[in-house]
């Protein structure tokens, strides 16, 4: 039932789904800002009667502080591993949001913070071509793939915010009384993608889950008399899901850890004017060895002379930048290698397949970034480019989860929203 009227299959029987822009992750923060009284021009979830009704019933409107907890890689199939959060989700209406295409962290996180889909803000993948810089850029690290040192572009004097096609949703906050904070792991705080978001000045790093909620408590106490928006980002679930699998025991243990620390924080929270919104940027898909398409360096070199530059990568999506007149050669090469494990489409086909609507003047720019041909892998499948010489590792690692494509668990994420007192009652924390 949760899938009904949320997303639709892009083509009958293909197993890939179109994003739903009316019920999307990019509308959560604009919704929070509207509740706090900030003016902006972004779409909210409040025009959806069911969402608005659930938010009203959960006392989300009579607050002056909103905490958005963004847990990377929690699809609807993974939520039951957050046992108590799942219980609250069921009792609060089982609200579901759609992610964006591609379901990759760079694109999704910028969408969340800009209130826009990728084809409007311009960060259309993880490792994609930017003609302004003349290279494929790792957008998480903000570095050329030819020199993958975090913040290499920034340290070279590049203002990476020029890569954004439209402004973020926070640009008017300085004219309001709303205090805004971003909490994220210290390993990524004020680096990489943060420079694109332009939130360095309001970012606070944390060292652990315990530190995250302790820091959150300090912020809420310090700004007790103010309107406050705090976004807390956890990458733990994404890391565990990639390595061990999206439904693994390791994933369950990590989910339990976040929950237990949050429940301790909530139990001792004395402010009844705080609402919490828990959601994710995307889910994950389990990948299988038998569906992994491996491309050797020699095989990759055989098609390289048809390409303008090396392929880009957004997890289970591969971006091909093709020299004019060579589309057929590249198409034949890819389809021969991938067979039934993926769908290859050109830019126009991808726009139609996934309901992408780049604004007129930006259409050419978006095409140059997203690619002339786009390979989207089917359920359980992944494409791997292998190197001739790879150093032997002390412990062999085999990633069991990935994302970027548009299967249901990659696209659909849960949305849990409630005031602090309602959450305490649902989670049986009331004193």
Average pLDDT across the chain, whole number: 94
Domain ranges of the chain: 25-123+164-286+407-426, 289-398
Is the model's pLDDT at 397 over the cut of 90?
Answer: no
Distance, CA of 369 to CA of 123 (rounded, Å): 8
Output the pLDDT for position 172.
77
Output the pLDDT for position 107.
98
Q: How many residues does the chain have?
A: 431
Q: Do the Cβ atoms of 390 and 396 come closer than 8 Å?
A: no
Output the pLDDT for position 168.
84
Is the model's pLDDT at 29 over the cut of 70?
Answer: yes
Q: Do the Cβ atoms of 237 and 73 come closer than 8 Å?
A: yes
- Closest-CA residue to 73 (of 219, 223, 242, 318): 242
Distance from the first to the final alpha carbon of the chain: 35
Look at residue 30 and give its three-state secondary structure: helix
Output the pLDDT for position 96.
97
Is the model's pLDDT at 176 over the cut of 90?
Answer: no
Output the pLDDT for position 3.
47
More confident residue, 15 or 175: 15
Q: Write out pLDDT tens, residues 245-261.
A: 999 999 999 999 999 99
Q: Write out pLDDT tens, residues 139-148.
A: 999 999 988 8
Output the pLDDT for position 147.
86
Q: Write out pLDDT tens, residues 107-118.
A: 999 999 999 999
In this prediction, residue 242 has a pLDDT band, given cuts at 50, 70 and 90, of very high
Average pLDDT over residues 188-194: 94
Look at residue 66 and give its three-state secondary structure: strand
Distance, CA of 79 to CA of 86 (rounded, Å): 6
Output the pLDDT for position 392.
62
Q: Write out pLDDT tens, residues 216-226.
A: 999 999 999 89
What does the angle CA 177 – CA 207 – CA 239 come to, to the nearest 5 degrees? Answer: 105
Contacts 24+ apart (CB under 8 A), 294-297: 294/384, 294/386, 295/337, 295/383, 295/384, 295/385, 295/386, 296/386, 296/388, 297/385, 297/386, 297/387, 297/388
In this prediction, residue 391 has a pLDDT band, given cuts at 50, 70 and 90, of low
The neighbouring-strand residues paired with 295 are 385
H helices present in 186-225, as ranges: 193-197, 209-222
Q: Do domains 25-123+164-286+407-426 and 289-398 have the same CATH topology?
A: no
Output the pLDDT for position 167.
83
Is the model's pLDDT at 395 over the cut of 70?
Answer: no
Output the pLDDT for position 394.
63
Distance, CA of 212 to CA of 280 (rounded, Å): 17
Q: Structurally, what CATH architecture does the domain formed by 25-123+164-286+407-426 represent?
A: 3-Layer(aba) Sandwich (3.40)
Is the model's pLDDT at 1 over the cut of 50?
Answer: no
Name which CATH class applies to 289-398: alpha beta
Output the pLDDT for position 359.
85
Q: What are phi and psi of 167, to 5 degrees?
A: -75, 165
H helices present in 193-326, as ranges: 193-197, 209-222, 236-244, 249-267, 297-304
Is the model's pLDDT at 421 over the cut of 60?
Answer: yes
- Closest-CA residue to 204 (of 221, 180, 186): 186
Output the pLDDT for position 5.
64
Dihedral angle, C-alpha 148, 99, 102, 19, nearest 10 °: -170
Contacts 24+ apart (CB under 8 A), 237-242: 237/71, 237/72, 237/73, 237/74, 237/78, 237/280, 238/72, 238/73, 238/105, 238/284, 241/73, 241/78, 241/284, 241/401, 242/73, 242/284, 242/399, 242/400, 242/401, 242/402
Output the pLDDT for position 431.
54
Q: What are phi and psi of 347, to 5 degrees?
A: -60, -45
Average pLDDT over residues 41-59: 96
């Amino acid at each position: 039932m949760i899938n009904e009227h949320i997303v639709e299959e892009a083509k009958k029987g293909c197993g890939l789904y179109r994003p739903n822009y009316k019920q999307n992750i990019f509308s959560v923060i604009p919704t929070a800002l509207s509740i706090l009284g900030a003016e902006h021009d972004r779409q909210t979830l409040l025009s959806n009667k069911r969402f608005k009704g659930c938010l009203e019933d959960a006392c989300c409107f009579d607050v002056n502080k909103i905490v958005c907890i963004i847990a990377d890689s929690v699809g609807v199939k993974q939520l039951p591993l957050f046992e108590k959060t799942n219980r609250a989700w069921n009792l609060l209406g089982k609200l579901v949001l759609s992610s964006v295409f591609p379901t990759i962290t760079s694109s999704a996180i910028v969408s969340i913070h800009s209130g826009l889909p990728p084809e409007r803000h311009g960060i259309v993948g993880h490792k994609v071509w930017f003609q302004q810089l003349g290279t494929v850029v790792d957008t998480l690290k903000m570095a050329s793939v030819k020199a993958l040192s975090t913040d290499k572009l920034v340290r070279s004097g590049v203002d990476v915010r020029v890569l954004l096609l439209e402004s973020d949703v926070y640009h008017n906050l300085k004219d309001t009384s709303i205090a805004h904070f971003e909490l994220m792991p210290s390993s990524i705080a004020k680096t990489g993608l943060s420079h694109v978001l332009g939130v360095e000045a309001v970012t606070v790093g944390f060292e652990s889950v315990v530190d995250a909620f302790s820091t959150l408590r300090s912020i809420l106490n310090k700004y007790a008399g103010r309107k406050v928006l705090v976004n807390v980002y956890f990458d733990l679930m994404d890391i565990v899901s990639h390595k061990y699998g999206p439904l693994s025991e390791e994933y369950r243990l990590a989910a339990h850890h976040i929950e237990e620390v949050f429940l301790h924080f909530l139990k001792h929270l004395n402010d009844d004017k705080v609402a919490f919104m828990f959601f994710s940027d995307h889910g994950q898909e389990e990948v299988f060895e038998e569906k992994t398409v491996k491309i050797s360096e020699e095989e990759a070199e055989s098609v390289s002379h048809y390409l303008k530059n090396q392929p880009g990568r957004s997890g289970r999506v591969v971006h091909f930048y093709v020299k004019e007149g060579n589309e057929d050669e590249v198409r034949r090469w890819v389809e021969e290698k991938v067979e039934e494990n993926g769908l290859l489409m050109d830019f126009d086909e991808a726009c139609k397949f996934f309901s992408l609507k780049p604004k007129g003047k930006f259409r050419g720019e978006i095409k140059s970034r997203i690619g002339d041909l786009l390979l989207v892998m089917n359920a359980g499948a992944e494409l791997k480019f292998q190197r001739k010489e790879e150093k032997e590792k002390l412990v062999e690692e085999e990633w069991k989860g990935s994302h970027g494509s548009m299967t249901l668990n990659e696209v659909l994420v849960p949305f849990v929203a409630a005031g602090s007192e309602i959450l305490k009652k649902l989670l049986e924390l009331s004193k």
